[in-house]
Amino acid sequence: MKVLLFNGSPHKEGCTYTALKEVANTLKEEGIEAEIFHAGNEAIASCRSCFACSKTGKCVINDKVNDFVNLMEECDGLVIGSPVHYASASGATVSFLDRAFFSASMAGRGHIFKFKPGFAVASARRAGTTATFDQLNKYFTITQMPIVSGRYWNMVHGKTPEDVKQDKEGLQNMRFLARNMAWILKCKDIALKSGLSLPNEEEVTYTNFIN
On the question of pLDDT at 169 being above 70, the answer is yes
d(CA 5, CA 36): 5
pLDDT of 42-57, one tens digit each? 899 999 999 999 999 9
Q: Tell me what pLDDT residue 118 has.
A: 98
CA distances from 119 to 23, 78, 193, 195, 211 (A): 11, 7, 24, 27, 37
Question: Does a structural domain hold residue 10?
Answer: yes
d(CA 148, CA 82): 17
Residue type, 175: R
pLDDT of 70-116, one tens digit each? 999 999 999 999 999 999 999 999 999 999 999 999 999 989 999 99
**Across 115-132, average pLDDT:** 97
Question: Does a structural domain hold residue 103?
Answer: yes
d(CA 19, CA 167): 10
Q: Which residues of 53-65 are buried (b: 16+ CB within 10 A; e: fewer)?
A: beeeebbebebbb
**Across 130-159, average pLDDT:** 97
SS3 content of the chain, % helix, strand, coil (to 5): 45, 15, 40
On the question of pLDDT at 211 being above 70, the answer is no
Question: Does a structural domain hold residue 72?
Answer: yes
Q: Is the pTM of the predicted complex or chain greater than 0.75?
A: yes
Q: Tell me what pLDDT residue 129 has.
A: 97
Cβ atoms of residues 17 and 9 within 8 Å: yes
Number of structural domains found in the chain: 1
Cα atoms in the 13 Å half-sphere on the side-chain side of 173: 19
d(CA 69, CA 36): 14
Question: Does a structural domain hold residue 200?
Answer: no
Alpha helix (H) residue ranges in the chain: 15-29, 53-56, 64-73, 91-106, 129-141, 161-165, 168-193
CA distances from 24 to 14, 62, 97 (A): 15, 28, 20
Question: Does a structural domain hold residue 202?
Answer: no
Q: Tell me what pLDDT residue 210 has.
A: 82
Provide the mean pLDDT of the chain.
Answer: 96
Residue 139's domain is classified under what CATH number? 3.40.50.360
**Across 150-157, average pLDDT:** 96
- Domain residues for 159? 2-193
- The confidence band for 7, taking pLDDT boundaries of 50, 70 and 90, is very high
Question: Does a structural domain hold residue 115?
Answer: yes
Question: Does a structural domain hold residue 210?
Answer: no
Q: Tell me what pLDDT residue 209 has.
A: 85
d(CA 20, CA 15): 9
Question: Does a structural domain hold residue 211?
Answer: no
